[in-house]
């Protein structure tokens, strides 16, 4: 096992424990000596990992965001690049710009060899030929979801029938050629799916809806029989 892989594994083990883990247990799980473990702990701390503890008492990784340079494997780098490129090409302009900026921030803290891999990854994402003019409104839709406000929609269904709906938006699905707004519909008194390219106009209401967004999302997952974190 390479040292880089070992350090990544050590970080992951610490993330999996909420309470301090003794050095002996960590060394045993990694199949290394206790002396090597102490050196690895010191190296990660120097890289910015918030590991607290000392020999004889155990170690714990403090919660919170951190991005030490050794956090990503080669395949994780490729996944980040491909995902960012997909968002940049397939999402709206604002989200695409955010994806590019996030990737630049990651590149800034990577060591030279991994930064080279990020810059030269041959995984590409093509543009979406079915993008809609409504995509320019998606940043406002996302902001409304985050703030948990109601939306008044003018909507045209697949048969061309128009209606007006007051909805509680709580999720936005990005599929290959369509974007789906998932919301509780006050008219139908149930969770409904609305294709964004069929929304002819909308108005954000200053009134927050009575349920929390996460509660609605959980209800939708149960309704759809979703038992994983895929959505």
- Checking if the pLDDT of 67 tops 60, the result is no
Say if residue 120 is exposed, middle or buried (CB neighbours under 10 Å; 0-12, 13-18, 19+): exposed
Would you give the DSSP letter of residue 21? B
* For residues 10-29, average pLDDT: 88
Cα-based distances in Å from 83 to 43, 108, 111, 114, 124? 30, 18, 21, 17, 9
Question: For 3-61, which CATH class?
Answer: mainly alpha
Q: Is the pLDDT of residue 70 over 70?
A: no
Answer whether residue 227 shows pLDDT above 80. Answer: no
Alpha-carbon distance 147 to 169, whole Å? 10
Are the C-beta atoms of 1 and 40 separated by less than 8 Å? Answer: no
Question: Are the C-beta atoms of residues 167 and 185 closer than 8 Å to each other?
Answer: yes
Structure token digits, residue 57: 């008492």
Model confidence, pTM: 0.67
What b-and-e string marks burial along 33-46, b requiring 16 or more CB atoms within 10 Å of the CB? Answer: eeeebbebbeebee
Structure tokens at 184: 């509780």
Whether residue 174 contacts residue 90, with contact meaning beta carbons closer than 8 Å, is answered with yes
Fold entry, domain 133-224: SH3 type barrels. (2.30.30)
From residue 181, give the alpha-carbon distance in Å to each of 17, 41, 94, 169, 190: 37, 46, 18, 7, 14
* Cα–Cα dist 161/154, whole Å: 11
Per the model's pLDDT, the better-predicted residue between 133 and 12 turns out to be 12
> Domain residue spans in the chain?
3-61, 74-120, 133-224
Residue 15 parent element (H or E): helix 3-15
How does pLDDT run across 169-215, given as a tens digit for each residue?
Answer: 999 998 878 899 999 999 999 999 999 989 999 999 999 999 999 99
């Amino acid at each position: 096992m390479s040292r880089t892989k070992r350090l990544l594994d050590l970080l992951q083990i610490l993330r999996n424990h909420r309470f301090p883990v003794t050095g002996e247990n960590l060394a045993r799980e990694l199949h290394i000596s206790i002396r090597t473990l102490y050196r690895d702990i010191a190296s990660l701390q120097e890289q910015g990992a918030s590991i607290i503890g000392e020999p004889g008492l155990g170690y714990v990784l403090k919660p919170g965001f951190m991005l030490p340079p050794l956090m990503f494997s080669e395949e994780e780098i490729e996944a980040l690049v491909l995902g960012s490129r997909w968002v940049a090409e397939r999402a709206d302009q604002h989200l695409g710009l955010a994806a590019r900026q996030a990737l630049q921030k990651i590149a800034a803290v990577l060591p030279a060899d991994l930064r080279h891999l990020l810059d030269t990854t041959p995984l590409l994402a093509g543009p979406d030929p079915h993008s809609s003019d409504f995509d320019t409104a998606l940043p406002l839709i996302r902001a409304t979801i985050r703030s948990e406000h109601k939306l008044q929609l003018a909507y045209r269904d697949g048969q061309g029938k128009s209606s007006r709906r007051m909805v509680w938006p709580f999720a936005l699905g990005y599929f290959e050629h369509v974007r789906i707004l998932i919301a509780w519909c006050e008219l139908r008194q149930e969770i409904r799916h609305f294709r964004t390219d069929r929304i002819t106009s909308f108005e954000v209401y200053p009134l927050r809806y009575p349920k929390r967004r996460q509660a609605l999302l959980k209800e939708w997952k149960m309704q759809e029989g979703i038992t994983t974190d895929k959505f």
